[in-house]
A and B are shown apart, each in its own frame.
Chain A
Amino acid sequence: MAQRVGIIGFGQTYHRSHRDDVNGVELINEAVRAALEDAGLTIDDIDAVVIGNMDHFEAVNYVDTWSVDGSGAWMKPLIKLTTGGTTGSTLGIAGYHHAASGLFDVVLVIGWEKNSESDTTGAIITCSDPIFDRFSFSGALPGLAVEASAYIKRYGIKEEDAARVAVRDRAHGANNPYAQLQTPVTIEEVMQSPMLSWPIKLLDICPRSDGAAAVIFAGERKARQLCSQPAWVHYTAVRHSHTYFGDVDYTRLHTLEAAVQELYHHMGIKEPLKELDVVELYQPYSFAGLKWIEAMGLCKPGESPRLIWDGVTDMGGELPFNPSGGVICTNCIGATGLLRIGEAALQVMDRAIGRQVPDVNLALATGFGGAYWSDLMLLGKKPW
């Protein structure tokens, strides 16, 4: 029987560029034990486990069965999902459906990556079609640079506008003891950082991180029994539309537009800027913090710089983005989308120590990956 679902626990590692002191299985276990402790549970309380990452970052096939020693899935139902950058949000959504289906009551969801163990770009390049795309337009950076330059050209956006987004997230990251990058940066520092692929500079883009995240979802009865303030799952929406990078319209992020329209329509949200209280945006580089908030309908196309410079999305602003510091401060890729969900849950649960936004009723977490795909999960203080 279908049931409502709440998040009742969240654990994460202290994310770093290199975690040579643990292997992948042990890194996973750190997040699992942190989540169990956070929820006040033992592994015996877990009914099913969901795990994912991106295979080619560590060259581990069948990560679900390989990682059982760390995930605690020994003699438990176990499934693996992976969808590229959206893996973490895909996992969180799967945790929701596991519990919502009524088949399982308490579900442990794990996302992780040890990006230090491989050449990140080398691994990402293999996502492209081997015959038509892989030899040319490939890897994360070229696509993002095309998106950014198309956006700049169309709306007269300045590189400084994007730098302001990076400055915001790096300032927020200073409040998050788990973030990999915890030092604030200035507009000048961003502008003077090395150019990677115009207009993207080093400080515009996310780092590569080693880290893991674990989120515990529970059906309504269990959630109420085990947690005084669960973060209730209100809605999820997903668009993984494209196969070829050449099919993407780089002037807009259609997948995010379609997913938020589905979500707003379903939830009756008419003025997202007013109705949402906090957003954890899967924002792998600064320009996304401009263009994608337009796709979310927070302002008209081309008008996002005003919101950013006015501090609307800063801590203390009308709709704070990425109180955790977001992806620009930490990007352990298979965990990244799940970190957005976990951090959004902490905001709803009023437990985001050092980075809490006051009076959060609704929190939105997003995922991004693949060929410009988008995932959404809306969390709320009361069950919906």
Chain B
Amino acid sequence: MSRSAEENIIFDGRIRMPYKWAAGETSSYFLTQLRDHAKLWGTRCSVCQVIFIPPRKNCPRCVTADTTWVELPSRGVLQTFAVIYFSEPLLQPSEPPYIYGIVKLDGADTGLTHFLGEVAPGELRSGMRMEAVFKNKEDRSGLITDLLYFRPEGGSAS
């Protein structure tokens, strides 16, 4: 049977579904502390002693639920960064270019992935000291983006 057609029809579709993701009690504590007090918290595994941020209800390595809260400073060291140039309006929170970085807060054993701001890409170096900049209190809503970005410690480098 010949299967060749004059044209190949392309069918437009989009799955648009509402979701309601529960953050759970542990992340809810983290997010409300961020919203209400501009504070960042990690969890320490009582067995491994590893301090994780984002916080974990159970230790991801030994799976124990015996974990405790540790308040972390909003300063740390830049592990790596990436400058985003491509544009995807369906996804991106702001117009490119913008910068992602992973910052290991002082005292934490893991890094937090977030935006970097108040800095030009050319001024960034892994190992730089960074500090968190939060949204104004009235604009904070219990999302990870209540933390606006990390900037070089001591204010803008540019």
A interface residues (Cβ-Cβ under 8 A, vs B): 18-24, 26, 29, 32-33, 36, 42-43, 56, 58-59, 68-70, 72, 74, 114, 116-119, 122-123, 126, 130-131
Contact = CB atoms under 8 A, between A and B. Distances in A.
Given A56-B15, A117-B21, 12 more contacts: A18-B22, A20-B22, A23-B27, A29-B57, A29-B65, A43-B63, A59-B17, A69-B58, A72-B63, A117-B20, A118-B20, A126-B15
Contacts, number: 68
Contacts of A33: 58, 63, 65
A-B pairs, 9 with minimum CB distance: A69-B60, A23-B24, A22-B24, A20-B22, A72-B63, A26-B57, A29-B58, A43-B63, A21-B25
Contact of A23 (B19, B22, B65): B22
A21 B24 contact: yes
Contact of A130 (B11, B19, B62, B63): B11
B62 A117 contact: no
20 contacts: A20-B22, A21-B22, A21-B24, A21-B25, A22-B24, A23-B21, A23-B23, A26-B24, A29-B58, A29-B65, A36-B63, A58-B21, A70-B58, A114-B22, A116-B20, A117-B22, A122-B17, A126-B15, A130-B11, A131-B11
B129 interface: no
A117 B25 contact: no
B46 to A, nearest CB: 14
> Which of B20, B22, B58, B60 has the most chain A CB atoms closer than 10 A to its own CB?
B22
Given A21-B24, A22-B25, A59 B19 contact: yes
Given A33-B65, A36-B63, A19 B17 contact: no
Contacts of B58: 26, 29, 33, 69-70
- The contact size tier of chain B is 20 to 34
B13 interface: yes
A308 to B, nearest CB: 37
B26 interface: yes
> Which of A29, A32, A33, A122 has the most chain B CB atoms closer than 10 A to its own CB?
A29
Contacts of B23: 23
Nearest to B61: A74
B56 interface: yes
B17 A123 contact: yes
A69 B56 contact: yes
Contact of B13 (A18, A114, A116, A130): A130
Interface in B1-36: 11, 13, 15, 17-27
A36 B23 CA distance: 25
B77 to A, nearest CB: 23
A118 B18 contact: yes
A119 B17 contact: yes
Contacts of B25: 21-22
